[in-house]
Chain A
């Protein structure tokens, strides 16, 4: 530990971060600040170069947005849609990870399954939207045809005009597109765990379920934190599918905050100022939630590292014992 803290190596930390920092300042920070600034101005309309800061009421745009019923709806929708797709997604991904990394019950063809499950993520959201629109077409479409010939429905159901059905479909599409991605990350995390830990547990006679909950999950914590945070950010920024599949409708049922932001900026009135205020509000919400997640999981980072060292030592002892 002490060796790494020694000052002579610190400069490499700065040195190796330079490319990132330069690219970051140029391509990310500038546009971000530009956006943030617009939120405090009266900049709207096309090609408007003559905008002013709102000196009297600097937070006017923010107040407008917070009082906007569509924004409130969109915030509610975003959270609901995220929960509706994330809980099944992480559950299935964890189950699949447990199955595919089980050292005792080798699943035959698991390589094939792992590869295939990620494939929905490869197709563009626009194609996925076209596909699902075709599947749920009304009054004539594959899903309606199947349900009617199976006797489930008497007459064709207008899925895309029904709020609950459309929401469920959007949540399903998100789930279907992303569970493979989550699974791959989790599996790569499990593969990164020192196999000696597992060997030691096996020697101790732990069952698969015990190993999963007591070894795999705790050791996956850093990767789980990554999954939780990125999918929360991704979920709260959900845009493609609601926009392309259902245009935020019907009756605002799938209007997410990002679709709302896009509408503010591009659907006709070019209200960049309001769009930017809405973006910043979302940024704050996400930042607070992420900070909470970090707080919950971060302390354990260090604890975990120590645990791992302990487990490693234990494993070595076990190995030594085995050798004796």
Chain B
């Protein structure tokens, strides 16, 4: 009897906390949706409101009436983010695999170097980076934003920690006995096992790449190459007559694709494919 009471109390506590946190988490999205239906005037008079208004279409017109093309920006963002995420996830897994599955002389040195790179403040590195990109003429080239994703120290670090904790090395041995090549083993056996880790890191790197603004706006100066966040920042940059309604709409349109990718990958976060389970 006592135990049941305790468990009811526990549930009440859990749900109170969770619902409160959920409201906090959803609040900005609700505000974004509502504000994308309000006029600039309404937003300037009262920045946050829970009552939608009827200016969605006129905000859309403002957004589309600019000198840039949001559809194009959307496609550009997709190209960059999808490629960068694929590079990060695949090559980080490969590198982490090299660090965990094999014993080699320079392994620890290599790992230390990766850790060091992670620690350098990013703000100033960007100076050197974009100067280099200008020197080699890689401005207005998506590759300048995609290729660096191959070397993602944080993701490698995560993958390594994940594999250390839960990668069943026995599987490799049995694959070798079956005569599978090393690269094939990685692709056919290791990768599927790492799916949950890849999904989490995939979300993180997609979000980071999609939301990135500073480097793209410096490197992509041709307006047919603009990404969504650049376009939204242009709306905000119109300091004398800022169209807040259109900005919120732009922010909403920017966030929707991430939400879709997120919901697609979220099954791993929700259910998870227990790694060890494969062992059976």
Contacts and interface: CB of A to CB of B under 8 A. Distances in A.
Interface in B157-185: 157-158, 161-162, 164-166, 169, 173, 182-183
B272 interface: yes
A122 interface: yes
A225 interface: yes
Contacts of A117: 21-22, 25
A279 B258 CA distance: 32
B98 interface: yes
B261 to A, nearest CB: 10
B121 A283 contact: yes
Nearest to B23: A116
Contact of B162 (A5, A121, A137, A192): A192
Nearest to B229: A124
A126 to B, nearest CB: 7
Given A31-B128, A34-B128, A192-B197, A111 B271 contact: yes
A187 B158 contact: no
A257 B124 CA distance: 12
Contact of B98 (A16, A24, A192, A226): A16
A66 interface: no
A73 interface: no
B270 A192 contact: no
B5 interface: no
Interface residues of A, number: 100
B27 to A, nearest CB: 8
Contacts of B122: 237, 239, 258
Contacts of B229: 124
Interface in A22-41: 22-24, 26-35
Given A184-B200, A192-B162, A265 B123 contact: yes
A283 B118 CA distance: 9
Interface string B14-46: 100010011011101101100000000000000
B102 A290 contact: no
A195 B103 contact: no
B128 A30 contact: yes
A16 B196 contact: no
A18 to B, nearest CB: 9
A131 B125 contact: no
Contact of A13 (B98, B128, B161): B98
Contacts of B150: 19-20, 22-23
Interface in B224-280: 229, 233, 236, 251, 254-255, 258-259, 262-263, 266, 268-277, 279
B200 A188 contact: yes
**A127, A135, A193 — most chain B CB neighbours (10 Å):** A127
A14 B104 contact: yes
A163 interface: no
A150 interface: no
B1 interface: no
A4 B176 CA distance: 11
A170 to B, nearest CB: 16
A249 interface: no
Contacts of A17: 95, 98-99, 110
A23 B118 contact: no
Contacts, number: 279
Which secondary structure dominates chain A's binding surface?
helix
B22 A113 contact: yes
A13 B102 contact: yes
A111 to B, nearest CB: 4
Interface string A97-130: 0010000010101111111111111111011100
A26 B147 CA distance: 10
B197 A188 contact: yes
Contact of B21 (A113, A124, A135, A237): A113
A207 to B, nearest CB: 11
A108 to B, nearest CB: 9
Interface string A189-212: 101111111000000000000000
Closest 10 CB pairs of A and B: A31-B128, A194-B276, A191-B272, A13-B102, A134-B47, A192-B166, A13-B104, A34-B128, A16-B98, A23-B150
Given A141-B47, A279-B125, 20 more contacts: A13-B99, A16-B98, A20-B95, A31-B129, A107-B18, A110-B270, A111-B266, A115-B269, A117-B21, A119-B29, A181-B204, A185-B200, A191-B272, A191-B273, A193-B166, A195-B274, A229-B115, A229-B118, A279-B120, A283-B120
21 contacts: A4-B102, A13-B98, A16-B102, A17-B110, A23-B91, A27-B132, A99-B14, A109-B18, A131-B28, A180-B25, A193-B166, A194-B274, A219-B165, A222-B165, A258-B122, A265-B123, A265-B127, A272-B124, A282-B121, A290-B115, A301-B164
Interface of A: 3-5, 9-17, 19-24, 26-35, 96, 99, 105, 107, 109-124, 126-128, 131, 134-135, 137, 141-142, 176, 180-181, 184-185, 187-189, 191-197, 219-223, 225-226, 229-230, 233, 237, 239, 257-258, 261-262, 265, 272, 275-276, 279, 282-283, 286-287, 290, 301, 305
